[in-house]
Amino acid sequence: MKNQRRDFIKTAAIISAGGMLAAKGASGTMKELVALFPANSAFELPLLGYSFDALEPFIDAQTMQIHHDKHHLAYITKLNEAVVKEVSLQNQSLEQLVKNISKHPESIKTAIRNHGGGHWNHSFFWTLLKPNTKPSEKMEKVITDNFGSMEQFKTNFEKAAMSVFGSGWAWVIKDGDKLAITTSANQDNPLMDISAKQGTPVMGLDVWEHAYYLKYQNKRADYLQAFWNVLNWNKVEELYTTK
């Protein structure tokens, strides 16, 4: 993704600097740019790294396919459409874009918040899903130290995830050495400088209905129970250790 994004930025910069499109007005140039560089030539859909049915029966293959190939891709397409309009944002990584929401130009702030957030959140989420892992002794101790027990942690996390009204996410964030559970609406996340509770995510769960409705319909609680079977504890530990 990085190389292609750099190429995209370089080429877009050359063209927006003048040259072949200089004779057109600013809005004409923008239309040309969008046409010449379709959105997916910038940020790209990451591979899942496993098959759509790898998480069956807990998360079904059809949900995974639609979630990844349609929902996630749509966030990326719309993010690219926003970024291409603002040269000052074209050298920023996804993480920078997401962290600095409050600093973006008003005209595209909401688009970056929703679609940049959507791209970051889903890219993160896919890495947190894997069947048949379990917490190491180290992570058991970290969880117990922070929440009292593994059972208490799960209860607290499920309660937080159930409390999200409408669409959003439940998170475990690292704030200093401590872990905390938090939630966000829509595609916000705790990295964003506009978040009420900020920190580095080590775990996140999509509780939008599109994440579970085909299999669980309105029963979000059942989806939460199923999630523990496919949570990638190895990834949680890696994030906890390195972030």
Task: Kindly list the residues in this chain that would bind Mn ion in the complex (CB under 5 A).
Answer: 206, 208
Residue nearest to Mn ion (CB): 206
d(CA 202, CA 12): 35
In sequence order, the β-bridge partners of residue 205 are 170
Which H or E run contains 8?
Answer: helix 2-16
Q: How far is the CB of 187 from Mn ion (least distance, A)?
A: 8
Q: How far is the CB of 118 from Mn ion (least distance, A)?
A: 7
Q: How far is the CB of 193 from Mn ion (least distance, A)?
A: 22
Q: Are 143 and 63 in contact (CB under 8 A)?
A: no
Q: How far is the CB of 207 from Mn ion (least distance, A)?
A: 9
Nearer to Mn ion, 84 or 205 (CB): 205
Nearer to Mn ion, 54 or 73 (CB): 73
Measured in Å, how far apart are the chain's first and last C-alpha atoms? Answer: 22
Strand order in the sheet with 168-175: 178-185, 168-175, 200-206
Nearer to Mn ion, 43 or 208 (CB): 208
Q: How far is the CB of 115 from Mn ion (least distance, A)?
A: 12
CA distances from 124 to 25, 48, 189, 200 (A): 39, 10, 11, 12
Nearer to Mn ion, 12 or 161 (CB): 161
d(CA 236, CA 51): 21
Nearer to Mn ion, 208 or 223 (CB): 208
